[in-house]
Structure 1
Amino acid sequence: MDRMQIIKTRKSVRTFDGQKITDEDKEKLLNYTKTIENPYNIPVEFIILDSEKYNLSSPVIEGEDTYIAAKVAKVDHCEEAYGYSFEKIILYAWSLGIGTTWVGGTLDRPLFEKAAATRDNEYMMIVTPIGYPSKTQSKVDSALRESVKGDERLPASKLFYEHDFSTPLDHSEDSLDAVRWAPSAANRQPWRIVKDDNDYHFFLEHTIGYSSGVGWDVQKIDMGIAICHFLCVKNGNLVFDEPEIETDEYTEYIATISCE
């Protein structure tokens, strides 16, 4: 599969067939994590965790025996760097036929942090189970996917704009379509992009009343995922040069990708 196929076909998997991840696939995943970089130049460390050894589980996951966790220093833009880097391993796993899903809220966080040897100056924000997808979904899996409308995305005209927020784009070039199909917490799709010639300005439209309450912003992780998807399809440089574009109080500038 090419990158766009991987992006469009990848789905969250919460029901696994119970088969252990092969040593060969574990080695491929581990070796790949060592190659992952992000445009923020903030290191993200990945750890593969055995569920039985550390007594790890999640109430929304069934049939898993292995998790991948990641740690990042508590610095500016750590959420975006984390989301970008974590999505790289998510997409790579799917290319191998390995299922994943982002898990942030439905886990025993202190237990996972201890298993990953998380230090005081680090965040361990998200984990994913890894395994081979079951042919059938558990009831919890099906209900959760239906509740967040996991197979649906907002139209391009609600996400992408030209020059300012008063001019929606009703078409979606490949790089923007890749963003549109990115996963996000509860499928809220908080990214908004304003295209201005060869510059793509990324904004976060904060969900009113939503807070992760853990010291970091989960919707900024979503923005890192969106930037990952964009740069998987289109070459560009990440810069911080906030444009003079009028926004409301809930919309925050994140970064610009310049494709000149």
Structure 2
Amino acid sequence: MTEHTQLIDAINIRTSVRAYDKDPIDDDTARQLTMTIDAVNTLADTHLQLVLNQPKVFEAANASGHLTNAANYIALVEPKDDPEARERAGFYAERVVLAATLRGLGTLWVGGSWDREEAARHCRIGRGEEAYLCVVIGYPEHHLSYQAKSYDELTAFQRSHRPTKTFAQFTAGMTDEERAAAPAWFTAGVEAAMKAPSAMNRQPITFTYNAADDTAAAHIDPAEDYRETLNDLGIAKLHFQIGAGSGEWAWGDGGLFIHKQ
């Protein structure tokens, strides 16, 4: 599995990619991705699946220009109507996304820009399961020039790539005094979560720190209520955990993070 410092690097350079090269993912990279997915599925009891060379799944989005040359995807196949499963799938699929980022691949979380029925035809879906989300994956357009960029160039591009809510917005349940007094690990966790992808770039998750027991909590903004919110909660929690350095989350809205020294 990828080292912690590398995951921090992936968080700092990952962007949402909508335009891809036509080149297929090479066999070695596909094998490494499959190994990562298999390890995650075993660890987390998830059912993530890598599907290659199926452009028909994104035919409409490619034709409209919303996507370009999208053909591969990671399918999130999970039990229907299981909130914790959706959160866990977001958490662990984003772990795969970060591993893919370190291999020079581009990714994009999609909820509506794919043909769900066509995608499901290429997945293993058990009784009571559904393919409810996917991550587009492939080489970014002009990927050789992309891969030639330095780490500093990639982080600079990320900073200019999209707007983000402020630190104060991500910690909306805290006062300025509480923010200033929070430990460095909490601040680093929030800053990593600020770089997390979310459906429609809504960034619906906030964090608080409780000095009494030295824990953090993740909350879904009550003003945000859409299909992918629980998925976004899992993604944000993963980014926070990596940024904080060490620790473990409890699942669910309001779940606590226990930091480990």
Question: Normalising by the residue count of structure 2, what TM-score does the alignment of the two structures yield?
Answer: 0.77
Asked whether the equivalents of residues 87 and 232 of structure 2 are also in contact (C-alpha less than 8 Å), the reply is: yes
How many residues align structurally? Answer: 226
Match of 1:83 among 86, 90, 105: 90
Helix, strand or coil at the partner of 1:124: strand
Q: Percent identity?
A: 21
| 8 Å contact kept, 1:15–1:134 | yes
2:19 aligned residue: 15
The change in CA–CA distance for 1:254 and 1:42 in structure 2 (over 3 A counts) is farther
Is residue 2:192 matched to residue 1:178?
yes
Q: Residue 62 in 1 paired to residue 68 in 2?
A: yes
Residue identity matched to 1:202: A
Q: Residue 228 of structure 1 corresponds to which residue in structure 2?
A: 238
Summarize the alignment of residues 38-57 of structure 1 with structure 2, pairs less than 5 Å apart.
43-52=45-54, 55-57=56-58
3-state SS of paired residue (1:223): helix
SS in 2 for 1:28: helix
Structure 2 residue ranges without an equivalent (≥5)? 144-159
2:171 corresponds to which letter in structure 1?
F
Give the counterpart of 2:166 among 155, 166, 181.
Answer: 155
More helix by share: 2
Amino acid at match of 1:231: Q
Give 1:61 shift: 2.2
* 2:208–2:217 CA contact under 8 A, matched in 1: yes
After superposition, give the CA deviation of every residue in 1:139-164 in whole Å (9 maximum; x if it has no partner).
xxxxxxxxxx9611111011126xx5
More moved, 11-20 vs 43-52: 43-52
Q: Give the drift of 1:165.
A: 3.9
The one-letter amino acid of 2:74's match is I
Q: CA deviation at 1:120?
A: 4.1
Q: For residue 204 of structure 1, what is the aligned residue in structure 2?
A: 220
Deviation at 1:114, TM superposition (A): 2.5
Distance of 1:29 and 1:42 partners within structure 2:
16
Residue 254 of structure 1 is matched in structure 2 by 254
Q: Distance in 2 between matches of 1:97 and 1:86?
A: 17
1:166 CA drift (Å) = 4.5
Q: Which residue of 2 aligns with 1:144?
A: none
Distance of aligned partners of 1:239 and 1:56 in 2 relative to their CA distance in 1, 3 Å threshold: closer
Q: In structure 2, how many angstroms separate the alpha carbons of the residues matched to 1:76 and 1:133? A: 32
Unaligned runs of 5+ in 1: 137-148, 213-217, 241-251
